[in-house]
Amino acid sequence: MGKIIKKKKAIFFTFIAITIMAIFILVFTPQADVGLEKDTQAITSRISSVDDYVSDLQNRYFENALRTTTYKTILSLIFYMNSTGSYIANLDSAFSEVMLSGKINGVPIDTITGKNIMSGNTLIDWNNKIIQTAKDTFNVNTTIIVNSVSVSQTTPWNIESSISVNFSVNSNVAQWSKSATIKATNSIEGLPDPYYLVNTKSTSSYTNTIKKSGVLFSQWDITKTREHLRNGTYVHWESSDAPSFLMRFTNTISSSSCCGIESLVNPNKISPSDQRESYVDYLFWSHRFSNDCAQLYNINGLWDEFRYFKLEFNHMTIYNVQDTATKTC
């Protein structure tokens, strides 16, 4: 028996060699670079990409889309007023309808104005564009629900629009659900004043574009007033009775606590030029002084260029043109 074992010694050496080789193979065989860590990195990278998209959507895209649609909506409403010659009954409602659907009272506003402004440019259109592009780019499903839309003024030269949205983004690795109130500010400079358009629709189609006067309160005189009238510029007086830009859409001619602006009506652009009114725009078309001639003054210093131009006492002193004025009657 002992002889047999002695003779089989070689095979034990062979088994030992195989075992050592097996250990070497297990230790040094190149492993495929696929594993939990790799998966985790991929998921982290994907979540990071979609998270950037969600952040962009909330912080930049909604604001940009709101700003662009606000401008187009306001412009469309101005053209609508110019086409119909009438004021907007409820600005918030009309603004919301036009901004979201491009319609006013159920009718596409572009068909009324004859302009191609809102077609493909409503807030819903812009939301659909980002939804589709996000689907193509990140393979995520985005849902956006606009709860409410509003427009207001807190400064004389800017309008502020606001939307309340709920949105969610679903990917195969994570889901984001958020609510946000988005605000955008648009300058009113460069927009036509709807108050002029409606009031001159039947006579002279007088378009006056909002442009802020650079004259300071203490600098007004007959020369500055002449330029002001010539250029059709607007001015904001503290505690004046002037309406704001948005109040002009609804013919709400009363004092705006924050944002009243006014311009002077150029007598050469209206018919008839000689009217018994103060030629401050909101006083002119609200006929505040039509039956109070005693309070009106002819500003003779401007009559060489702007014949029949008149102001009531208060504005005559604000514009500092009393030296060249005479009572109208």
Partner 1 sequence: MLSKKRGYFFILDALLATLVIVIGVLLIFSSYVNVPKSTQVELLSDDLMNFLSNTKIKDINNPYAGIGGYLWNQGAITDQENTLLQQIGEFYATNKLDVADKFIQNLSAGAVPQQFRYEVWMDGVTIYPKTKTPEHIKSRNSTGLLLTSKKLTFGIINRTTSNLWGPYKAEVYVWEK
The residue from 62, 65, 91, 319 that contacts partner 1 (CB under 8 A) is 65
Footprint (CB under 8 A) of partner 1, residues 16-35: 17-18, 21, 24-25, 28-30, 32-33
Footprint (CB under 8 A) of partner 1, residues 183-242: 186-187, 190
> Looking at beta carbons only, is 26 or 329 nearer to partner 1?
26
Geometric angle at alpha carbon 185, from 179 and 187, rounded to 5°: 165
> Looking at beta carbons only, is 160 or 241 nearer to partner 1?
160
Structure tokens at 214: 């650079």
According to the binding rule CB under 8 A, does residue 37 interact with partner 1? no
According to the binding rule CB under 8 A, does residue 64 interact with partner 1? yes
> Looking at beta carbons only, is 70 or 208 nearer to partner 1?
70
Least distance in Å: CB of 16 to partner 1?
11
According to the binding rule CB under 8 A, does residue 58 interact with partner 1? no
Q: What is the dihedral of CA 285, 198, 308, 313, to 10 degrees?
A: 30
The residue from 36, 106, 136, 304 that contacts partner 1 (CB under 8 A) is 136
- What φ, ψ does residue 173 adopt, rounded to 5°? -115, -20
List, edge to edge, every strand of the sheet that includes 141-155. Answer: 141-155, 158-170, 175-187
* Stretch binding partner 1 (CB under 8 A), from 126-134, 165-173, 193-201, 299-307: 126-134
CB atoms within 10 A of CB 211: 16
The residue from 67, 115, 224, 269 that contacts partner 1 (CB under 8 A) is 67
According to the binding rule CB under 8 A, does residue 294 interact with partner 1? no
Q: Which residues bind partner 1 (CB under 8 A)?
A: 4, 7-8, 10-11, 14, 17-18, 21, 24-25, 28-30, 32-33, 49, 52-53, 56, 60-61, 64-65, 67-68, 70-72, 126, 129-130, 133-134, 136-138, 186-187, 190
